[in-house]
Chain A
Amino acid sequence: MTNSSSDNGNPFQIEIFPSRLVRPATAKELLNEISKIDGIIRAFIQGPRLPTEVPYGPAKGSVVNHGSREHVKVGDVDIELSIMVGRIRLEIEHEDVKIKLREVCERVLPFGFEIREGLFIPKKQTISDYAKRGPGADPKFLGLYDPKSKPDKQITILNSEENEA
């Protein structure tokens, strides 16, 4: 019998997969609850993109004003949601964090969800990552942003030692 990755004491990754696409109010509550849990190393929010302008067709360039593209405050940090939250992937330190996350999800996501364990955020650099960032790149940021984009636009640091000081 094989052991799951959560049995060996090393950090492991889980994915919260809600049964519905989450509106900003629920996303805000969920992210705030998650940010209060200790033992989360990094998290990744994924979902369908909400553009600010119509990207193609006869209305190309018109303003979209999507009701779900909102600023949400997680802890002390203001984040603009440019997607509708579809799944949250987390790297966590131990099994207890997963139990706490399940409790939070049961409370905040009444329409149902799944929690899966697996490898969702890359742990090794790809060739593109290496070409863009070189050998000295911070491994914590791996897989959290596109090599072509700027990290400060896509990554938010919560509960860091610098923030607390």
Chain B
Amino acid sequence: MAYEPQFYPGATSVAENRRKHMSGDVEKLREISDDDLTTVLGHRAPGTDYPSTHPPLAEMGEPECSIREIVEPTPGAKAGDRIRYVQFVDSMYNAPATPYFRSYNASINFRGVDPGTLSGRQVVEARERDMEELAKFQIETEMTCPALSSLRGATVHGHSLRLQEDGVMFDMLERTVLENGYIVAVKDQVGRPIDKKVNMGKPMSEEEAAKRTTIYRVDNVPYRSDSEVIEWVHRVFEQRTKYGFQPL
């Protein structure tokens, strides 16, 4: 019988969502065009070619190497793209993803990515077109709610603050605004104004966000209510403590 990864223990909706994020089996909720994505990322002008740091691998003549023969380069590496980043911030108020689960999603489902997991933000560095593929996937699917998550390259402050009156996560640079029920980006990732507004989609309702979140919260699904998760966390802690204990 073929092995099927289980990803995460637990019987609650939060555990189920965590399994979805890790496996990449997430629902697509919205569309964002390539040009719109390029605009909000702000690394190059939309419609332009990818700048490169080296010639395509096929033209370079690679040295003989068994590993290079086994591992197929990613499209970005093949073309010699620059390394660029995308950085997400997710609110603690029932945002669908958390930095850890964005990193799990990136590491398990994408090649050639370097996720950085921090307490309030999550950054992924990769070749430009590989990074865009990941950013598009995470923005278009249920991993992102435009009101509770946002792209913030700098000045990420806001994830742990109360939401604004309109239910949008606070952003001191106001990169996105709520217009006619949709979240619209008016600045790029780092806060530079953009020429064309980008529609990032409709925010999730409070109930939907509570249903799709990967965050255990006392006012939603409490961590202690998931006995299987608690059992496995205890097991991991116990075993790593015993393993680390090396008497002479």
Report yes or no: A58 in contact with B164, Cβ–Cβ below 8 A.
no
Distance between Cα atoms of A57 and B192 in the complex (Å)? 10
A97 to chain B, nearest CB (A): 25
Interface size class of A (residues with CB under 8 A): 20 to 34
Q: Which residues of B contact A58 (CB under 8 A)?
A: 153-154, 190, 192
Report yes or no: B172 in contact with A20, Cβ–Cβ below 8 A.
no
Chain B at the A interface: SS class: loop
Report yes or no: B172 in contact with A49, Cβ–Cβ below 8 A.
yes
Report yes or no: A20 in contact with B191, Cβ–Cβ below 8 A.
no
Q: Which residues of B contact A157 (CB under 8 A)?
A: none
Report yes or no: B191 in contact with A62, Cβ–Cβ below 8 A.
yes
Tally of A-B Cβ pairs under 8 angstroms = 68
Distance between Cα atoms of A26 and B164 in the complex (Å)? 11
Which residues of chain B (149-207) have a CB below 8 Å from chain A?
A: 153-155, 157-158, 161-167, 170, 172-174, 177, 187, 190-193
B244 to chain A, nearest CB (A): 40
A54 to chain B, nearest CB (A): 5
Chain B CB count within 10 A is highest, among A50, A64, A65, for A64
Q: Which residues of A contact B161 (CB under 8 A)?
A: 21, 48, 86
Report yes or no: B170 in contact with A48, Cβ–Cβ below 8 A.
yes
Contacts A48-B158, A54-B191, A58-B190 supplied; 7 other A-B pairs, CB < 8 Å: A18-B162, A21-B162, A21-B165, A50-B172, A54-B173, A57-B191, A86-B161
